[in-house]
Amino acid sequence: MLTLSDSELRLDTARGPVAALRMPPPAGADRGAAVVLCAGVVGSKEDFVPILPAVAGGGYHAWAYDYQGHYAELDDESPAGHTIARHAEDLVAVLERIGAGRPVHLVGHSYGGFVARAAALARPDLLLSVTLIGAGPGMDGARHRKLLSGFDATLALQGAAVMWPVVRRLVPQREADRREFWRRRLAGMRLAFLHGALRSLTAEPDRGADLRATRVPVLIVHGHRDQRLWSAGDFAAYAERLGARLEIIPDASHSPNLEQPQRTAAALLRFFAEAERRHAERLFLDLVRPRALAEPYATYRALRERTPVLRVDLPGKAAAAVLSRHADVARLLQEPIFESPGEDPARLTPNWRDVRIIRCLYQSFGWREGTVHSELRAALAHRLVPRRAEELRECTAATAEQCLTAFGERLARDGVVNLAEALAIPFASLVTGRLLDLPDADALRLGEAARVASAAFEPFMTPRQRSAMASAGDEIIDALEVLAADREAGLLPVVRRLRPDLGEQYLGDLTLLFGAGYDSPASLVTLGARLLLSYPDEAALVRGGDDATAGRAVEEILRFEPPVQIAVRIATAPARFGDVDVEPGMAVLGLIGAANRDPAYVAEPDRFDVLRRPARASLSFGAGRHFCPGAALARMHAQVLFPRLLRRFPTLRIAGAVRYRAPGTMLRGIEDLPVALGA
């Protein structure tokens, strides 16, 4: 089959229309990425017809296009208008149109390889990979100039028909339709394009070092008989300079996509999969850098769509599997073969004993299994059931009013106020402290310390962050040890009865109890307030709604911006997610922030909708045996606070740049949310 008539279309780009062929992936096989194929100097989109079905069958949106102006008369057309640089600009417009904000795989054949290389140098951000078929290093040397100049002169004398012998070699005589197509093609070819392209090639240097510097994965493909422009050694040396993969296609020459389409497509698909894995690994490692993350969700989406199960080697840590689909993360949280890291801390954090708060928390009930976990969790959960949360609603409302009054006074006095410092931290500290029967002053002091110590389980920290975390951790542990010694009310005596030795496990339980009770609610306030102030129509629904509306709004905030972004487990038996095998002892990271926005979980997942009613609760409080025992209480706290905040301050607005927690990989929150009252 020569053409895909049902798939031919006009593709409008920022630089004008181009003719294109498109073949989508089969239903259920979509990898969420496109492949753009760019033809050679005498080629066309039809050059890729033999490989389009295989590329699409591999799960890709396969596109082949013709250069803008390639076969159409242009005003004042001249060879000067047809250069590698000009066609690379056209190609960038095609990539922007087809990618629609997402990077694509780019394949260029022959002259198209040089165009693809120029586009990659100009806009590496648009690419997952680049493949150069039959395109080697530069052509500005004396031998190549002589060859190209001779071809240019022959074209001037004989026209495009000079290419007919090449076509006859590539297209077997039995394929009469293809030969007829090429006769028509050569007859209609614009000589200005050919002359311009050839002359542009004579000035094209070896830009391998520049291409390598882009860090875009590169594949070099050539037929084993392709020796006229570059030798096999030239191709191999070029690939080595680029750090590229090299594929030599047997029984092919300059156009393996036409001569050996199945082998060529197989080579492309292997390379695309590896390039996507490398791209996903870079995306994930960028996520876990010890810095503030303003917008991780686009990265989550890219991981979920292209590499939903990623095996990654964390620097200085063991290999891990990273999961981003809702079904996979839910399975991780519920299956008993995946245990909490406290059973074998060294698997995740080799130096876990070096910092006191990390050492204590790893021994706490929340990070352990068996009776160490279940007995204390059950005792706490019995006192934190939804009925008990409702009994505390009146007390929580009084605390909210107290905090909102102080917040209003700060607004009136200062104009612009950090909502995190002026409302979220006091509210979360006080409601947690009163649950534990702590004096308010101590609860507020511990809340400030917990704001810093929450970095304890971040995978990476700067030395300064680590030092601050350790100091704040010592402050919390020392204070809670003293305060818990004589408490007879609240939850602390429950811990004391089940940990009579009062050792590090006991201290870890106390620290976790306050930290978990404070941190997620404080982050929920800042993240939720930012969302509601950013979406005034949704805020109006909460402001004017009833308790049920507030409840749905809190669930949507938790889904859309979960305070806990990643859950970590250690496999105790072999398992498999997607095409990745998980060995016993391997860490598995479930990206809750990605799972909550999986289209397989909710429709339009990136739309914030406070009236949304998902069929199942989000994974923001976990699932299975480690489901947060204080979930009902945390929900109630937010349901009480948000409507009151919006009703008391209907003109409240964000008044500056929002600064997120750093590091903020595991636990997401806002450090600075400047707000002010509007007119």
First to last CA, the chain: 68
**C-alpha span between 222 and 254 (Å, rounded):** 6
pLDDT of residue 40: 83
Q: Which residues pair with 369 in a beta bridge?
A: none
SS3 566: strand
Kindly report the length of the chain.
679
- 279 Cβ contact partners less than 8 Å away, ≥ 6 residues apart: 103, 128, 129, 217, 306, 307
pLDDT of residue 603: 96
pLDDT tens-place string over residues 373-407: 999 999 998 888 888 888 899 999 999 999 999 99
Q: Sign of torsion, CA 535 540 541 547?
A: positive
Q: What percentage of the chain exceeds 90 in pLDDT?
A: 72
pLDDT of residue 3: 41
**C-alpha span between 202 and 198 (Å, rounded):** 7
The closest alpha carbon to 90, from 111, 62, 118, 110, belongs to 118
Tell me 283's DSSP state.
H
Q: What is the mean pLDDT of the chain?
A: 91
pLDDT of residue 356: 97
Every domain of the chain and the residues it spans: 5-137+206-278, 288-677
SS3 322: strand
Cβ–Cβ under 8 Å, residues 45 and 20: yes
Helix (H) or strand (E) holding 359: helix 356-363
- 270 Cβ contact partners less than 8 Å away, ≥ 6 residues apart: none
pLDDT tens-place string over residues 102-119: 999 999 999 999 999 999
pLDDT of residue 61: 95
> Binning pLDDT at 50, 70 and 90, where does residue 1 land?
very low
SS3 204: coil
| pLDDT of 74 higher than 80 | no
**CATH second-level architecture of 288-677?**
Orthogonal Bundle (1.10)
**C-alpha span between 373 and 629 (Å, rounded):** 12
**C-alpha span between 202 and 639 (Å, rounded):** 69
**C-alpha span between 14 and 129 (Å, rounded):** 22
Cβ–Cβ under 8 Å, residues 117 and 39: no
Q: Residue 501's Cα: distance from chain center in Å?
A: 45
- Over its C-alpha atoms, the chain yields an Rg (Å, rounded) of 31
| pLDDT of 4 higher than 50 | no
> Binning pLDDT at 50, 70 and 90, where does residue 166 land?
low
pLDDT tens-place string over residues 283-335: 999 999 999 989 999 999 999 988 999 999 888 787 899 999 999 999 999 99
pLDDT tens-place string over residues 537-551: 999 999 999 999 999
Cβ–Cβ under 8 Å, residues 644 and 404: yes
3-state SS, 234-263, equals HHHHHHHHHCCEEEEECCCCCCHHHHCHHH
Tell me 523's DSSP state.
H
Cα Dmax for the chain: 102
pLDDT tens-place string over residues 201-236: 888 899 989 999 999 999 999 999 888 888 999 999
> Binning pLDDT at 50, 70 and 90, where does residue 76 land?
low
pLDDT of residue 582: 97
> Structure pTM?
0.84
**CATH second-level architecture of 5-137+206-278?**
3-Layer(aba) Sandwich (3.40)
**Stretch 657-675: mean pLDDT:** 96
pLDDT of residue 43: 66
**C-alpha span between 106 and 275 (Å, rounded):** 12
| pLDDT of 185 higher than 90 | no
pLDDT tens-place string over residues 17-67: 888 999 999 988 888 899 999 988 766 788 899 999 999 999 999 999 887
pLDDT tens-place string over residues 82-97: 888 888 998 999 999 9
**C-alpha span between 433 and 490 (Å, rounded):** 9
Cβ–Cβ under 8 Å, residues 670 and 420: yes
pLDDT of residue 77: 67
> Binning pLDDT at 50, 70 and 90, where does residue 169 land?
low
| pLDDT of 72 higher than 70 | no
Structure tokens at 556: 């949507």
| pLDDT of 262 higher than 60 | yes
| C-alpha dihedral (527, 528, 532, 534), degrees to nearest 10 | 10
Q: Which residues pair with 132 in a beta bridge?
A: 108, 220
> Binning pLDDT at 50, 70 and 90, where does residue 170 land?
low
pLDDT tens-place string over residues 471-491: 999 999 999 999 999 889 889
